[in-house]
Copies of this chain bind each other. A is one copy, B any other.
């Protein structure tokens, strides 16, 4: 890392952000809001989405290929903007990289441990994230007395991707998924999948006012800012809003990704380019 840090202008290099598809855009959005001077190279693995129902071995292989691609793009730091990849592949990625890398799980877990008053925290996510117990592990490291209850919600991702953001069907499915968490009297709920902030209002309504929703996307962007500051990597040069500021790559269906991204991001994305991720 030291070598690169001393390189002229290295702090102006982009941050790499990746996800299985479009969900990680909620993380990219928070980075754009909180540290608007940073350039971003985003990769969405739209050819192999979803990650949530796949094995650790497969997710690790995919994540390594993506990290190789991002390294080729000369990123100064990498944000794993996918809970499943953060749950399964962080260790492997950290071992491989000589630049700072940040997942979405740790920042989310940290805040949840801080904000719970009754020591009962719920986590919703994909099958993979919940099965990995990664949130439980991190939260218990911070405070072993907190009780963490996970619930996999496999239909949320397809519902969001189908555009059912505010819909009675989503309400009904959410009510079923969340029932056991309500019964457990949690006071904090982690949205443990980057798609979920898009149905935040539904989730909030069902859980009720007394439950705090934790959005790891927000916490991750905040922690990224701290990390870049500490490493003296914060881009102090204001960037123009040119073509080069935010770059988007996908492994399939660039057009569809672009439409979806434009519905989430404030800044229109200029274009998404398809690459062959299996070559990395």
Listed in ascending order, the chain A residues whose CB lies under 8 Å from chain B are: 46-49, 53-55, 57-58, 154-155, 157-159, 161-162, 164, 168-169, 172-173, 251-253, 256, 278
* CB of A178 to closest CB in B, whole Å: 14
Q: How far is the CB of A150 from chain B (nearest CB, A)?
A: 17
Give the residues in chain B near A53, CB-CB below 8 Å: 49, 161, 253, 256
A232 to chain B, nearest CB (A): 40
- Name A278's contact: one of B168, B172, B278 (CB within 8 Å): B278
Choose among B49, B54, B155, B253 the residue that contacts A162 (Cβ–Cβ < 8 A). Answer: B155
CB neighbours of A46 from chain B (8 A): 54
| Contact indicator A55/B252 (Cβ below 8 Å) | yes
**CA A53 – CA B22 in complex, angstroms?**
13
Nearest neighbor of A276 in chain B, beta-carbon distance? B61
> When chains A and B are docked, how far (Å) is the Cα of A46 from the Cα of B172?
28
A158 to chain B, nearest CB (A): 4
- Name the B residues within 8 Å of A154 (CB-CB): 158, 161-162
Q: Which of B58, B155, B253 contacts A47 (CB 8 A)?
A: B58
State the number of copies, please: 2
Q: Max chain B CB contacts within 10 Å: which of A53, A173, A252, A253?
A: A53
Chain B residues, Cβ within 8 Å of A158: 154-155, 157-158
> Residue A252 contacts which of B54, B155, B157 (CB distance < 8 angstroms)?
B54
A253 and B169 contacting across the interface, CB-CB below 8 Å: no
Q: How far is the CA of A155 from the CA of B156 in the complex (A)?
A: 10
Distance between Cα atoms of A54 and B53 in the complex (Å):
17
Cα–Cα distance between A52 and B227 once the two chains are bound (Å)? 40
The minimal Cβ–Cβ distance linking A45 to chain B, given in whole angstroms, is 10
Supplied contacts A155-B155, A155-B164, A169-B172, 9 more A-B pairs, CB within 8 Å? A47-B48, A47-B58, A48-B48, A49-B53, A53-B161, A57-B252, A155-B159, A168-B172, A169-B173
A112 to chain B, nearest CB (A): 26
Residues on B with beta carbons closer than 8 Å to the beta carbon of A159: 155
- Name A157's closest neighbour in chain B (CB-CB): B158
CA distance A278 to B169 in the complex (A): 37
Smallest CB separation, A176 vs chain B (Å) = 8
Cα distance A241–B162 in the bound complex, in angstroms = 43
A54 partner, pick from B47, B157, B161, beta carbons under 8 A:
B47
B162-A252 in contact (CB<8A): no
| Residue from the list B49, B54, B164, B173 in contact with A253, Cβ < 8 A | B54
Which residues of chain B come closer than 8 Å to A251, judged between CB atoms?
58
B169/A55 in contact, CB under 8 A: no
Pair A252/B58 contact, Cβ less than 8 Å: yes
Q: Which residue of B lies closest to A53 (CB)?
A: B253
